[in-house]
Chains A and B, each alone.
Chain A
Amino acid sequence: AQTIHQWPVAEIKAVGSPLSLGCTIKGKSSPNLYWYWQATGGTLQQLFYSITVGQVESVVQLNLSASRPKDDQFILSTEKLLLSHSGFYLCAWLGVAETLYFGSGTRLTVL
């Protein structure tokens, strides 16, 4: 069975500080991977997707970047956090019947 693990579970960071969030999927070879962001009370917004190692496509510009250093790993990062980056970050993989399966998410608070 496939499992998806996101880290950390939660972060409290200062404006202007760097950020790195991670996601690992096990049990699935060459998965399509996605990053979504959900502001508190807001819509799920797709940020990035990746179909293979080293290849990442940006969907919306939020002063964030993503990388796929390994087949099973997807990293979201920024060098300088903004207040507007606060929210719930979700990593997902594309499973059976083209369905997205989400990790447990990382709750980010920027102060």
Chain B
Amino acid sequence: QQKVQQSPESLIVPEGGMASLNCTSSDRNVDYFWWYRQHSGKSPKMLMSIFSNGEKEEGRFTVHLNKASLHTSLHIRDSQPSDSALYLCAASGNNNNRIFFGDGTQLVVKP
């Protein structure tokens, strides 16, 4: 059973537009969320982490977390073609020995 669900599977946004990605965990033990970006043929790189309810902003990237619903979202404003990649959501409980990934959202930013 998949513990981390992401939506949409794929997303196309115009250059300069806003991309919004979603992630929900079905495991009530999850406490921590991360967002990773994986360009084609490369390894995932951590973009942002969020562990508390609320919002966190870093440059063009904003993440939200609602711990009650175990839902996190990633928003990319002023999207650039270089943002085109697979975006992965990861989640873990207090036991950091198990870190689960979702299937990802494939983002394409069209010039």
Contacts and interface: CB of A to CB of B under 8 A. Distances in A.
Contact of A51 (B46, B97, B100): B97
Interface residues of A, number: 23
A53 interface: no
Contact of B44 (A51, A98, A102): A102
A105 B43 contact: yes
Interface string B61-79: 0000000000000000000
Interface residues of B, number: 22
Contacts of A97: 49, 51
Nearest to B102: A43
Interface in B88-106: 88, 90, 92, 96-104
Given A100-B46, A100-B90, A101-B46, A46 B98 contact: yes
A74 interface: no
**10 closest Cβ contacts across the A-B interface?**
A44-B101, A102-B43, A105-B43, A43-B103, A49-B97, A98-B96, A99-B46, A102-B44, A104-B43, A90-B43
